[in-house]
Structure 1
Amino acid sequence: MKPRHAASLLIALILFAASLFAAPSEKTLICFGDSITAGFGLDVSQAYPAALQHLLDTRGYHYHVVNAGVSGNTSKDAVARVQSILAQHPDVVLVEFGGNDGLRGLPLDLTRHNLDSVLTTLQAAHVKILLVGITLPPNYGQDYIHSFDAIYREAAAKHHVPLMPMLYNGIYTIPGTIQPDGIHPTAKGSQLIAEHMLPLITPLLRK
């Protein structure tokens, strides 16, 4: 083999070896939601997206978790903001909306339509999705609550996306997990939310 060809081959092998040992490129996971995602009443480092980031880091998932929660947002606001989410080129989006719709007694068909629009837009961009549901206090009546809860099940089935049916499942009964307003999680509650989400999110991720 001529020296020049040998040198070229050596360089190619070095570059190939370097690519094998290079740090994996970081992907983006966006938590797209309302005040629960934003961490209302907490420091942003205590909200569940921050807890989720830590859990993914310790398990070897190279994802940057973005907190895109805005307090007071309804599903209508989600529709208005979804293009700004896509502009960040996410690989995975966690969709957490509807609680404020229900608390305000907004028409269920409106919430259903808005969630459908958000999921359709994200899927058209080939983004992986976890849909997160929530329920309402008992004083809203069982008929309304049952119809409200069904929105998430129907949306998940229609779009074939994984569903976390109730964000607070198993949390309300644990002392110190909910703030005095009875609505928003504490830092402890946010940590538990992230832990409960993890098994649903990891099938959507790559190491």
Structure 2
Amino acid sequence: MRLLSALLAGCLTAVASLASADILIVGDSISAAYGIDKAEGWAELLAERVNEECPGMAVHNASVSGETTGGGVARLPALLERYSPVILVIELGGNDGLRGMAPAHMQNNLAAMVQQGRAAGAEPVLLGMKIPPNYGERYTELFERAFRQVADDEKVPLLPFFLDGVGGDASLMQEDGIHPLAAAQPRLLDNAWQVLAEPVHRLCAAAL
């Protein structure tokens, strides 16, 4: 009887631990499923995959269209307090680039978000972005370098280009040439999974 009680207590502890092992996505319109049904967005597809591979691990998508890294820094503390995630997915920077904001400022904001996430007990992951070449070679170089620098300095996983295989393909992009169609969302999920699979599986195993 004591053994059964101990086993039951262990199971309940594991379930409780897993129930709090959530993923928080803080992104812009790409992750907010702009222009398509939200149920078809990559974040929802991620929730489905995570539910299959690690039942009980929830995905909270706090992405907002038009969001910049500055907005992310401002919103993140409240989001971390609300969801207490174990994984923090940062998908921001695209709007900083489109608005011509200083890459150094973006870099500082991304680093601050990584540090905020870590301080709250989450493992940060960066989904990087690239911008059109018409912004000039120097700006483009500094923009892309900002993501790499944060990843190197803060020792966090980085996907260099979240829209890899999607951006520039007219058959996968909406008419504005910026936002992916529903058909592109599975590719976005596969891209993100390159840096999410390891922490998801590791933290899931630890909870069980």
- TM-score norm. by structure 2 comes to 0.88
Query: In structure 1, what is the Cα distance between the partners aligned to 2:32 and 2:108?
Result: 23
Tell me the residue number matched to 1:6.
Answer: none
Tell me the residue number matched to 2:51.
Answer: 57
Tell me the residue number matched to 2:4.
Answer: 14
Tell me the residue number matched to 2:162.
Answer: 167
1:61-100 aligned at under 5 Å gives the runs: 62-87=56-81, 88-100=83-95
Q: Do 2:114 and 2:154's aligned partners in 1 also have CA atoms closer than 8 Å?
A: yes
Tell me the residue number matched to 1:7.
Answer: none
Count of paired positions: 197
Query: In structure 2, what is the Cα distance between the partners aligned to 1:98 and 1:193?
Result: 16
Q: Determine whether 1:36 maps to 2:30.
A: yes
Tell me the residue number matched to 1:110.
Answer: 105
Q: Which has the higher helix share?
A: 2
Tell me the residue number matched to 1:203.
Answer: 198
Q: Do 1:52 and 1:195's aligned partners in 2 also have CA atoms closer than 8 Å?
A: no
Tell me the residue number matched to 2:141.
Answer: 146
| 169-178 vs 88-97, greater mean Cα deviation | 169-178
1:19 Cα deviation after fit: 4.1
Q: Do 2:167 and 2:178's aligned partners in 1 also have CA atoms closer than 8 Å?
A: no
Tell me the residue number matched to 1:4.
Answer: none
Q: Do 2:43 and 2:61's aligned partners in 1 also have CA atoms closer than 8 Å?
A: yes
- TM-score norm. by structure 1 comes to 0.88
Q: Do 2:68 and 2:94's aligned partners in 1 also have CA atoms closer than 8 Å?
A: yes
1:21 Cα deviation after fit: 5.3
1:176 Cα deviation after fit: 3.3
In percent, how many aligned pairs have the same letter? 29
| Secondary structure in structure 2 of the residue aligned to 1:94 | strand
Q: Determine whether 1:134 maps to 2:129.
A: yes
Deviations 1:85-111 (A, max 9, x none): 211211101001110010000122211
Bigger Rg, structure 1 or 2? 1
Query: In structure 1, what is the Cα distance between the partners aligned to 2:94 and 2:168?
Result: 20
Tell me the residue number matched to 1:5.
Answer: none
Task: Specify every segment of 5 or more residues in structure 1 that has no aligned partner in the other structure, as ranges.
Answer: 1-9
Segments ≥4 residues shifted beyond 6 Å: none
Cα distance change on mapping 1:173 and 1:103 into 2, 3 Å: closer
Q: Do 1:129 and 1:161's aligned partners in 2 also have CA atoms closer than 8 Å?
A: yes
Query: In structure 1, what is the Cα distance between the partners aligned to 2:29 and 2:146?
Result: 20
